[in-house]
Each structure stands twice: as C-alpha cells, then as structure tokens.
C-alpha cells in the first residue's frame, strides 16, 4: 500500500531526524496536545460539513488504505463491459438489455464485472443513459451528450466537496497547533516558581503542539486531501470514457470503435494500450 508506505516515510524521517539530534522522545508524547488539536480539528470538520458529507468523508478515508480505485485492469474491465453491452444491443436490439439495465446487480452481464458494479456513479451513468435508449426517446446525440455532461459535472462537484473540506481542515491545523502551544505556555506561566529544568520541559511540551499542528497539516491531512483530489479526477475520466463510448455508439459506430473513443479519454496511468484492449475483447 503506497499510502501506508508514504505515511511510514513521513513519520520515520521525522523520528530518525529527531533521534540524530539526540532528542528526547518522551517530550513528543503529549496526549493532551494531541487531544486538543485532533479533537478541535474533528469538531471543526463536524461544524463545516453536513451530516451526509461527513459520512462520505469518513468512508472515503477508509478506501485510501484498500488500494487504488482505478487502474489499467479496472479500465479494461469497464471497456470489456461496454463492448459486451454494445454487441448485445447491435445483435439482439436495445430491449435485450432491459433487464440488465433495470437491475444491474442481478444482471448476468454486469456480475462479470465487479469493479464496475462497485463504482455506483459509473453504474448510474451507464444504466440511466441506456434507459433513455430503451424508451425510444427521440433524443439526439448532442442532447444525450449534454445530459451526460451535466451528470458528470454534478458528480464531480459533489466529490470535490470531500477533498475541499479536508483541505480546509488541513489549513486549520497549524492554527490549532498554536492554540495548543498557547495553552501550554499558560500552564508554564503557573510554574515560574519551579526550577529552570522543569520550566524548560514545560515549554518544550507546549511547543509540541505547534509541531503536531504543522505535521498534521503538511504531512497527513493535506496529502490525504490531494490524494482524494487525484482519485476524483481519475473517477471523472472513467465517467467521461463511458460518456464518450455511449455517444459514439449512439451515432451508430461499431462497438469496437465506440469503446476506442472511451479508451482515448482515460488518464495515462489508467489507459490500457490498444493491443491490451484487443486481447481482452477477443475473449468476449
């Protein structure tokens, strides 16, 4: 897991550097500062996000440690599904996929593509668009394109609220670290009658609050927000690939050409080579 590895490098580099300077690790163990900063940060997140969005943020954070949401293999799976659906429509007519579209979770075709079924936005975009085709609505390709574009942009705006909220939280952590440090200084001022050694320890403990706030901002929450942003961009490209393939198919292009339109839209990291797509489609 690259995410776990990255955090291990961040924490490891800081601790090794501190050790090289002969720092006292006991000073860094400040549960009160961590509670002050972490609790205030989480409380701020609760204040600035609606309940539904907060739930999405927590679920999205969990997925960061379960592997990439998108990859070449997942792209190949989606391209294979689109090709199989298009071939079935061309061969048997649009009504042949009516049951698949109405209940994709029970569809014999869709069940073969679990990565696609796990992407609810992609399922909704494909099935809702195919429903229009099944209804025989006199909707022209450019109108279909406009409708799909609206859906994709709405989804992107919704997903963008997740990374945006976390970016705002990350920006707040240095300030919350200062709050914890100021509280530590206040405690220190009550110890002025004690020995210089005790006062020094108390000041060092107070400064840990600033350290934790900056670390959480630039070493933890900020990178998480940026990672989510990258993942959402990849998700948008998956949806745009489905849109491009559906639009090409609606213009009576052959299934193989239609899915090629979708392949060209994908980001480089997620885009399979033409030959890789050929090998997959030959098995369909």
Reported as a single tens digit per residue, the pLDDT across 98-114 is: 898 999 999 989 999 99
Q: Please count the structural domains in the chain.
A: 1
- Please compute, for residue 27, the number of CA atoms within 13 A of its CA located in the half-sphere on the CB side: 19
Tell which wins on pLDDT, 80 or 2: 80
**pLDDT band (50, 70, 90) for residue 67:** low
Contact in structure between 36 and 183 (CB atoms under 8 Å)? yes
The predicted structure's pLDDT at residue 118? 87
Q: Which of 63-67, 69-73, 228-232, 238-242 has the lowest mean pLDDT?
A: 63-67
Percent of the chain having pLDDT more than 90?
Answer: 59
Residue 18: inside a domain, yes or no?
no
With the C-alpha atoms ordered 95, 99, 102, 108, is the resulting torsion angle positive or negative?
negative
- Which three-class secondary structure state does DSSP give residue 193? coil
Diameter of the chain measured on Cα atoms: 90
- In this structure, what are the phi and psi dihedrals at residue 128, rounded to the nearest 5 degrees? -65, -35
Note the pLDDT tens digit of each residue in 224-279: 999 999 999 999 999 999 999 999 998 889 999 999 999 999 998 889 999 999 98
Residue whose structure tokens are 């809702």 = 128
Alpha carbon distance, N-terminus to C-terminus of the chain:
32
The predicted structure's pLDDT at residue 134? 78
Note the pLDDT tens digit of each residue in 150-181: 999 999 999 999 999 999 999 999 999 999 99
**pLDDT band (50, 70, 90) for residue 49:** very high
Residue 5: inside a domain, yes or no?
no
The predicted structure's pLDDT at residue 139? 77
pTM for the structure as a whole:
0.85
The predicted structure's pLDDT at residue 44? 94
Residue 14: inside a domain, yes or no?
no
27: tokens are: 């000073």
pLDDT higher than threshold 90 for residue 62: no
The predicted structure's pLDDT at residue 136? 63
Residue 11: inside a domain, yes or no?
no
- Please report, for residues 58, 67, 90, 234, 241, the alpha-carbon distance to residue 2 in angstroms, rounded to integers and kept in the order given: 19, 8, 42, 17, 26
Residue 12: inside a domain, yes or no?
no
Residue 109: inside a domain, yes or no?
yes
Overall size of the chain counted in residues? 284
**pLDDT band (50, 70, 90) for residue 283:** confident
Contact in structure between 79 and 277 (CB atoms under 8 Å)? yes
Average pLDDT over the chain, rounded to whole? 90
pLDDT higher than threshold 80 for residue 68: no
The predicted structure's pLDDT at residue 137? 60
Residue 119: inside a domain, yes or no?
yes
262's CB contacts (< 8 A; 6+ apart) are 78, 79, 82, 241, 242, 244, 245, 248
The predicted structure's pLDDT at residue 69? 66
**pLDDT band (50, 70, 90) for residue 40:** very high
Domain residues for the domain of 84 are 32-282
Residue 135: inside a domain, yes or no?
yes
A 10 A CB-CB count for 48 gives 14
């Amino acid at each position: 897991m690259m995410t776990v590895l990255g955090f291990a490098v961040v924490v490891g580099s800081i601790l090794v550097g501190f050790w090289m300077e002969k720092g006292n690790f006991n000073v860094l163990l400040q549960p009160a500062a961590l509670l002050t900063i972490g609790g205030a940060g989480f409380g701020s997140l609760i204040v600035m996000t609606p309940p539904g969005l907060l739930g999405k943020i927590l679920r999205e954070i969990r997925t960061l440690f379960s592997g990439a949401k998108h990859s070449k293999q997942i792209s190949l799976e989606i391209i294979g599904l689109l090709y199989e659906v298009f071939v079935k429509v061309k061969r048997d007519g649009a009504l042949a996929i009516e049951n698949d579209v109405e209940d994709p979770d029970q569809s014999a075709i869709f069940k073969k593509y679990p990565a696609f079924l796990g992407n609810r936005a992609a399922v909704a975009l494909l099935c809702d668009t195919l429903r229009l085709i099944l209804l025989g609505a006199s909707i022209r390709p450019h109108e279909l394109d406009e409708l799909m574009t609206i859906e994709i942009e709405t989804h992107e705006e919704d997903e963008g609220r997740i990374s945006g909220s976390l970016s705002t939280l990350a920006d707040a952590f240095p300030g919350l670290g200062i709050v914890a440090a100021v509280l530590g200084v206040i405690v220190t001022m009550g110890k002025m009658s004690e020995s210089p050694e005790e006062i020094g320890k108390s000041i060092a403990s107070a400064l840990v609050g600033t350290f934790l706030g900056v670390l959480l901002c630039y070493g933890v929450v900020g990178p998480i927000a940026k990672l989510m942003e990258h993942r959402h961009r990849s998700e948008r490209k998956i949806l745009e690939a489905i849109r491009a393939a559906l639009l090409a198919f609606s213009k009576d292009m052959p299934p193989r050409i239609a899915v090629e339109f979708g392949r060209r839209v994908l980001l480089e990291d997620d885009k399979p080579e033409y030959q890789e797509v050929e090998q997959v489609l030959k098995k369909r």
